[in-house]
Structure 1
Amino acid sequence: MCTCNNNITTVKMATMAAGDEHAAPEVLRGLARHLNCLNEDNKATRKRALELIKRDTVDRGLSSSVLQEVFSALLKPLLKCLSDPMERCRETAITMITEFIRCVPKPEESLPYLMPCLAHRLGEKELLEPAEELRLAAVEMLTLAVEVCGKHLAPYLTEMMHILQRTVVDPFPDVRRESCKCTIDFAKCVPEHFHMQAESLVKPLMQTISHQHHRVRVSAIQATGAVIQHGTGKNVDDVLSHLAQRLFDDSPQVRKAVAAVVGDWLLHMRDRYSYFHKLIPLLLSGINDEIPEIRLLSADLWKQVGAQWEKENEEEIKDKMDFLLTPPPFYPPGVERPGLGCRELVLRNLGRLVPAVAHDMTDWLVPTRVRTSQLLSVLLLHAEDHSTQHLQPLLAALYSACTDTERDVVSNCLAAAQLLGTFVPPVVLLKLLLDHVTAPYSSSHPWTPLMVLAAVLGGCSRALLQPHLENIGNTLSLPEVCQEYQQVVYLEQLLCCVDVLLRQCESDTGSVSLQLLQVLVAVQSLSTDGNSDERLLRPVTVQGLDSPMELYRQHMGQLLDWLSGSVNTWSSFSPQRLQLHVIVTQSGPVIGEFVCQLMPLLSSCLQPDRDPEMRMNIFTMLAKLLLDATNTLDSKGHFRDESEKFLSDVLLPNLVWRAGRTAAAIRTSALSCLLALLHGGAVTPGQVRALTPCVLSALEEDSEMSRLFACRSLSALLRLIGTNLHPEALNKIYPMLLKRLDDSSEEVRGVALRAVGLWLSCLTEDYNPEVWASHLQVLFQQLLLHLDDPDGSVQDQVLEILKSGSSVHPALLRKETEGVRDQQRSPLYCDQLLQHLSLLPAERPQ
């Protein structure tokens, strides 16, 4: 029966749809039973009734006028169904209401009933609609109502805001996105009313702007743009920090949305002039984005902002528009100059932008510091020479950034410093920078001004730098700059400054060649990387010299004067001592041309009352030089002229015995120097003869090394002047050597034995064996004693010495050998010696 009635109703409605003016009442009469069924307790009945109502209304091709009248009659029952316990009923009701709103000619007539109901269902603190898909459908219905009703929604501003405040933070991400879309549409529909309550949406949107889904974040940013754009403008500060955080979002779509919204604000927001200094950094940050699309969008929006500002302020900047269009000289190559409006916007807000940038450069988040350091370069490119008036805070920010552990931050800041060098007059910039170099901002990071200085110099042109070269060179070579700090990073930055100067000015650096060489020497003396030759090649090349030796020859006199000025205050910790070492060892034969100037300096350093450790170090240095004297100190033969004074005033006073281990160590160092002097040949025979007493005295030293050096020095003496010594002088030598044959050190014993052999070879015809027989007897007796040494190698060595010296007095040696033969543990060596003696003449010719 029910099915039959339904079919009849359907036929009737189809007939009415054809154009009967009484169609709407007939439709409603056909729906009366279904409407009654909506009040039944049985949920299946309610569901069936709603489906039939939907079939007989929205699913039919009814005219819009009929639908309007039917919708007015059905609205209240359908709205009541929005709270039906059955989800399917609620879904069908939402679908029907949505279709009615879309199709009826006057959907605004439903608002008095629709809006309070939606406000109740969606705007309460508790979720009255548990199904997230139905909440989404309801919000989509609300968005449709905004689109088709437009300004008619103005009276329902409060209801709309309550709904949006709740749905913008809905647990379902799609509801949030749809709510943001609805917010944008609503703001555009009723802008004259929206601003009164726009502020209430800021907090919910800021909760959504950091949602885990990037599409939700994009929607929230776009909605924020509309809320601020059509609001009172008082909430800009509340959203800026959140938008700034989205500049570092992993999603390019989110960053693109930020650029689009901020660009729109800069172009269209009513009170934008008040917020230029806060909005400009957000848009300019997008110019350095890693995604080309975002970079292009940001750059295009920024150009539009600049062009619009130019047009709005045409009268004010008319002179600049006519005369300041040519780029400044030495503009960075390959860089497009920003438009006048863009430059003026940055210039007029730079006083506020610089402190903000300096603050963000110290942020605890690495991405923030990196993006801010990139922004600094963009700002300076716009400000050009107008950044001069902000140099102090800019330099302070750069110094701080140079200490950052993130390499990208440092490199970006150095690029910004290079722009400062390009645009700011050197006379202004260098005055501040050089003052900071001599008195660093931070004692823990004294190298930061040097790092910034190197970057600034890299941005300066050769023509502008040339007048300031002397000032720069003099500053870098100051003791408190190039000698005060030993940190590796400080020395590296000092070298960077030198390298940049040489690269930028090339041959012009000849005027400060001495100062730069002083810096290089100072750095080499404090560093341990061993790249000294490479560092000297650059100044040699730019000045057209043949080798580093030529560079040293050009400035050696001045370098020695430089060191001599402070020599009286040197100690083992003085950097000047290390600088002296660098100069004399690197200059090779050149130092031999300046021995007359070097000797007073060495004499002052090596006086017995000076620092002991310093003296030992210098003696060690001299020993290395004197071993190769012909290629170093005596390359021109001048050292021989100074050697006597060197021996008497420097070397011998340090060989005088003094108590204590330190004094003994100094004597050892002096002996090593003496030995090198004797081997190097930079001493005359007369001077060598005067050294004999101090060498003999050194044979009694407690230090094994000293005794060893003394024995070797004595051997060198004997080689040089042994045959020219008077017999009495010779007779004073051998007893000291014989004592060393019993030395606790095997090495000393070996050297002493060889020295005894040399002593015997020095006996010429002037040495009468009969006259000095007693001396030879003592010598032979001691040697024969060691011929029975437990060490076989010593026995062999003694045997060879006795054989080679047997011709001095064969008879005496034979007698002494025969006298001890039977007393030794083995007569083998004595027999060999006697056999050798038997082949010699009985007596040595007189």
Structure 2
Amino acid sequence: MSSKKSVDEIWKELNAPKSKPARQGVAGLSVGLGGLPGVTSIIRTKPAATPAVHPHTNAAPQAQERPQPDLSDSPYSASDVGEDAAAYLATLQRTINCLGDPDRALRRTAATTLQTKLFTGDTSTPKASAAQLQALLCGPLLRPLVAMLSDSVERCRAVALSVLLDGGRQLSDVAPLLPELVPELSRRFGALPVQEPAEEIRLQIAQLTLLLLTMAPSTQIARFAPDLGAILCRSLEDGFPDIKKAGCSAVEAAAARLPFTALEPEAERLINSLAPNLQHQHSRVRLACIQALDALVAAGAPMALVEGSVATALRPVGHDRAQPVREAVFAALARWMGYRAPPLAGAAPAETAAAGSGQAGDAAASGAAIAARVSACGLGPPYNGSRPGPGCRAMVRSLLPQHLPPLVKQLGEWTSGLRVAAARGLHTTLVLAEDGATAHLRLLLPGLCSAVADDELEVASYVVSCVHVIGAHVSPAEWLPRMIDMLAPAGGGGGGVEAVNGGAAEAAAAGRGSGGLSTSQRTHALVVLSGLLHAAGRAGRELPPALLAALAGVLAEEGMLAAAAEHAAVRQQLLAVTSNTLAWGGAACAAVALPLHVVLLQLYGSELAGGGTGGDAPGRGAGTTHAPARALVAMAKLAACCGAAAASCDAPSLAWRPRPSDATWQHILRAALLTASPATLAALAPSLVAALHPILADREREPTLRLALLQLLDGVLEDSERGPALAAGAGQALLTDVLLPPLVWQAGKTAAAVRYAAVTALATLLGRRLPAPEHVLAAVEPPSPDDATAAAAAQARQQTGAGASSGPPGAGSGLLPLLSSALDEDWYTDMRLAACFVTEKLLELVGPQLSDASRRALYPELHKRLDDAHNAVRVAACGALRAFVAAAGPAYCDTNSGYLVAGVVIHMDDGDAAVQEAACSVLLAAAAAKPAVTAAEVRKVRERFRSKHYCDRVLAACEAAAKGG
């Protein structure tokens, strides 16, 4: 039996140090961390066998997977860099050493760690600065990174190229990279068969090559032209589209940076590698390839080489489905053909000399005119404002009969791409044909009118450019008669134009007249006509006076003006045509000032009236917002052409042939009244009254017309300058013949609206104190003429067209009965309110001159309004009564004064405070004129009133007036 251990022995055993158990690794060895790959341990585990060499990597060396780089004798050792870079390199040395480790995972981890430390930084190493990157990448890091480009691990090769790409973009000088880097890149991707299997890495090689070509000095790049050319050829031949695009960009950079003497040995190889890519399935590859070819040709590539290898491949590209590709190829072809322009240009002097000295003199004299026509066309690239050569022009003119019909037909194709191609081709054809298009106007003008509003903006832009070319190069005597006949009314339009043109039969056959044109067709024809006029004016063409007269007559034709009144699109284009006519014709437009002025007045009046159908809404955007202002600008141009008195000369014949059922007349009259000068308007006022009186005095005429005319008059009277001019020029007739007849009562709500418009205009007239007091007094209390005078007045009415029945019953009884009728209006509260205002202003203007009979007839009607259902009318009636008391004065009889005060005093106790205050103001005015009468009436009711303070105010005023008197 074993002896028991003491407590001390047990304590010693518990506190004794224990031995560590041996840990077995994966291979059964004591390696500390279990043999994890890439981690330093006591015993390193080596690979069991040498892995097989990748078929796309170098076969040597075979003894081990990756040779260990020897940096001890390298010229890029740490001793060659600065102290700052050397200190930074010391923090990276362990990672750099691991780049050549036999362990694949360790090399991959080291490469990733190096990339992170250099460009992002970590807890132990900050991110490298630009100076440190310059020293390290061009020094100690270069050979390890270049060596990693042949690593069997794809990740290592990708990281090495990423470090070189990201670092190269930050280097100030990449020339030190070239001797080590370019040969290795060429070995990996320039030789056949290509050793690099990964397309992502081949893309990085192409991008790095582009970087070197862009940033390295051209003298240094030229030394490596063969290697770089090989890399570019492999990039262009690669199957990966992004590599092809990077290769094309690199070719552009090489053509721009290298002298062609260095690039010439590689030019044929590059062109042969580029040509197949013109048929690539990706449009961006095709576009990049065209740009690279263009750069090579611009650098000096032989045209014979281009024609032999590229011309055949370019032929289908002209019909490429991608528009940017087509634009690029035609622009490139134009530039390539430009190198042969000098021989064609040199042929011109020979042609001129052969034509004889007389023709040479004519050509010199017309040189400026031709230059103006070419400039008016507004030609962009590839013309850039220059005229094509004579050989090109002669060739196109000879082919016009065969070339134009299919182009015009294709403008109506369903596919937008075909329409764009046809419009572009037609523009090029017309630019080269110049005035050769004259014989084909019968085909061209209708086709352009149909295509000018194409939904595709590019098609419409090309069509407008075609219109400008025709307007600049073709004589107006050829296209203007055709456009006039197209817009003229059916059966009446083109006789004068045909006589001017001479060839009447053909012009009549071509012109159909606008009687059968729809609104859209009329608009499209006006767009084309506007473009033709604009280009002809810029080209300095001569406008025959007969054609100008015919054009002005068509623009001012009644059907055209009616279409402009109804449709905003027609209005906008008609304004453009008129403005371009004024800009082109200049002083010659004075001969057609009247029709042009009518057109501009129509456009201005229609815009003010807000005319336009709902279908025109899309066209009424920002372009039509300032249409009235543009119409006024055009009127100013017309005035400048015709003199300042143009409006005075034209206005008497504008609209004094009333057509009240025609909206066009209303718009012209509106514009004439709102644009005429005050002096002109004063002179026209009698004629205006004579024209409006038959319409406004006839209760059977259209209410809408009468209403519109009264609103127009109200707007003119509100004008600060034209209102006084109209009132002074029209005199009493404005009241008695224009504003009083519509006030006669007639059953119906529509007739009430007409009466309200007349009361509103009368309120404006009297509120602004525009008429002379004697004219107003004559309208309120008309004199009773004798029989002879009445007969003369009847004869005058017959001469003005009013007739015996033109004046309605009651029209000759003066203003007060009509005003009393308006005060008692049932339909409109605003009518009664406006009538109270008119009464107040009437009393202020002629109240002291009114007879007692007129006063006795007036104030009872105002008393009635004090019981109106609307407080606003009651307050307005108090204002009129206050004016009545002030006008009557102290001399007015006490009896009528008492009646007036008694009718008002009761309303000082009204439930509405505003009515109480208004009634009190009437009695305060009465207290100043008749203190005794007013005080007596107020004392009768004071004890019954709730608001006794109003009575006290009036009694105090009466007492003060009595003492002062």
- Which band: TM-score by shorter chain? 0.5 to 0.7
Give the drift of 1:545.
Answer: 7.5
Asked if 1:738 corresponds to 2:863, the answer is: yes
Aligned to 1:659, the other structure's residue is in SS state: coil
Aligned to 1:464, the other structure's residue is in SS state: coil
Residue of 874, 891, 901 corresponding to 1:780: 901
Paired amino acid for 2:334: R
Q: Deviations over 1:776-828 (max 9, x none)?
A: 34322221211111223332332232232136554443333222222222433
Asked if 1:837 corresponds to 2:958, the answer is: yes
Residue of 311, 315, 334 corresponding to 1:295: 334
Q: How does 1:154-165 map to 2 (within 5 A)?
A: none
Asked if 1:614 corresponds to 2:681, the answer is: no
In 1, Cα distance between equivalents of 2:287 and 2:863 = 99
Does the CA-based 8 Å contact 1:421-1:457 persist in structure 2? yes
Residue of 875, 883, 886 corresponding to 1:761: 886
- Residue matched to 2:286: 214
Residue of 456, 461, 475 corresponding to 2:532: 456
- Residue matched to 2:251: none
Give the drift of 1:303.
Answer: 9.3
Paired amino acid for 1:592: A
Paired amino acid for 1:591: L
CA separation of 1:240 and 1:428: change in aligned 2, threshold 3 A: farther
Q: How does 1:45-444 map to 2 (within 5 A)?
A: 214=286, 242=316, 244-246=318-320, 248=322, 250-251=324-325, 256=329, 286=330, 289=331, 293-298=332-337, 326=363, 330-333=369-372, 335-363=385-413, 366=416, 368-438=418-488, 439=513, 443-444=519-520
Does the CA-based 8 Å contact 2:681-2:722 persist in structure 1? no
- Residue matched to 2:664: 575
Asked if 1:709 corresponds to 2:834, the answer is: yes
In 2, Cα distance between equivalents of 1:392 and 1:654 = 56
Q: How does 1:524-603 map to 2 (within 5 A)?
A: 524-527=604-607, 529-530=625-626, 532-538=628-634, 540=636, 544=640, 550-559=645-654, 563-570=655-662, 574-589=663-678, 590-603=680-693
Does the CA-based 8 Å contact 2:682-2:728 persist in structure 1? yes
- Residue matched to 1:791: 912
Give the drift of 1:704.
Answer: 0.8
How many residue pairs align between the two structures?
Answer: 592
CA separation of 1:511 and 1:843: change in aligned 2, threshold 3 A: closer
- Residue matched to 2:543: 465
Does the CA-based 8 Å contact 2:453-2:460 persist in structure 1? yes
CA separation of 1:659 and 1:509: change in aligned 2, threshold 3 A: same
In 2, Cα distance between equivalents of 1:249 and 1:634 = 63
In 1, Cα distance between equivalents of 2:863 and 2:479 = 75
Residue of 717, 725, 744 corresponding to 1:656: 744
- Per the normalisation by structure 2, the TM-score is 0.54
In 2, Cα distance between equivalents of 1:587 and 1:670 = 23
Does the CA-based 8 Å contact 1:626-1:677 persist in structure 2? yes
In 2, Cα distance between equivalents of 1:303 and 1:433 = 40
Give the drift of 1:738.
Answer: 0.7
In 1, Cα distance between equivalents of 2:345 and 2:745 = 85
CA separation of 1:630 and 1:349: change in aligned 2, threshold 3 A: closer
Aligned to 1:459, the other structure's residue is in SS state: helix
CA separation of 1:454 and 1:630: change in aligned 2, threshold 3 A: closer
Does the CA-based 8 Å contact 1:588-1:631 persist in structure 2? yes
Does the CA-based 8 Å contact 2:843-2:883 persist in structure 1? yes
CA separation of 1:395 and 1:839: change in aligned 2, threshold 3 A: closer
In 1, Cα distance between equivalents of 2:709 and 2:467 = 43
Paired amino acid for 1:741: L
CA separation of 1:656 and 1:171: change in aligned 2, threshold 3 A: same
In 1, Cα distance between equivalents of 2:823 and 2:955 = 32
In 2, Cα distance between equivalents of 1:321 and 1:229 = 42
In 2, Cα distance between equivalents of 1:397 and 1:603 = 50
Give the drift of 1:730.
Answer: 0.8
- Residue matched to 1:511: 591
Does the CA-based 8 Å contact 1:633-1:639 persist in structure 2? no
Q: Which runs of 5+ in 2 are unaligned?
A: 1-192, 195-236, 245-275, 293-303, 376-384, 489-512, 609-624, 782-813
Q: Deviations over 1:660-685 (max 9, x none)?
A: 11111111001111222323432512
Q: Deviations over 1:18-40 (max 9, x none)?
A: xxxxxxxxxxxxxxxxxxxxxxx
Does the CA-based 8 Å contact 2:890-2:929 persist in structure 1? no
Q: Deviations over 1:52-96 (max 9, x none)?
A: xxxxxxxxxxxxxxxxxxxxxxxxxxxxxxxxxxxxxxxxxxxxx
Give the drift of 1:706.
Answer: 0.8
Residue of 743, 754, 760 corresponding to 1:672: 760
Q: Deviations over 1:611-662 (max 9, x none)?
A: 212222221221232345864463693211xx33x44443333111111111
834-843 vs 746-755, which moves further: 834-843
In 1, Cα distance between equivalents of 2:287 and 2:819 = 92
Does the CA-based 8 Å contact 2:822-2:832 persist in structure 1? yes
Q: Which runs of 5+ in 1 are unaligned?
A: 1-131, 134-169, 178-204, 231-238, 257-285
Paired amino acid for 1:569: S
661-670 vs 581-590, which moves further: 581-590
Paired amino acid for 1:555: D
Give the drift of 1:725.
Answer: 1.9
CA separation of 1:827 and 1:215: change in aligned 2, threshold 3 A: closer
Does the CA-based 8 Å contact 1:811-1:842 persist in structure 2? no
Paired amino acid for 1:620: Q
CA root-mean-square deviation:
4.6
In 1, Cα distance between equivalents of 2:560 and 2:840 = 48
Asked if 1:821 corresponds to 2:946, the answer is: no
500-509 vs 537-546, which moves further: 537-546
In 1, Cα distance between equivalents of 2:396 and 2:420 = 20
CA separation of 1:649 and 1:636: change in aligned 2, threshold 3 A: closer
Aligned to 2:764, the other structure's residue is in SS state: helix
Paired amino acid for 1:686: A
Give the drift of 1:478.
Answer: 1.7
- Per the normalisation by structure 1, the TM-score is 0.61
Give the drift of 1:300.
Answer: 5.9
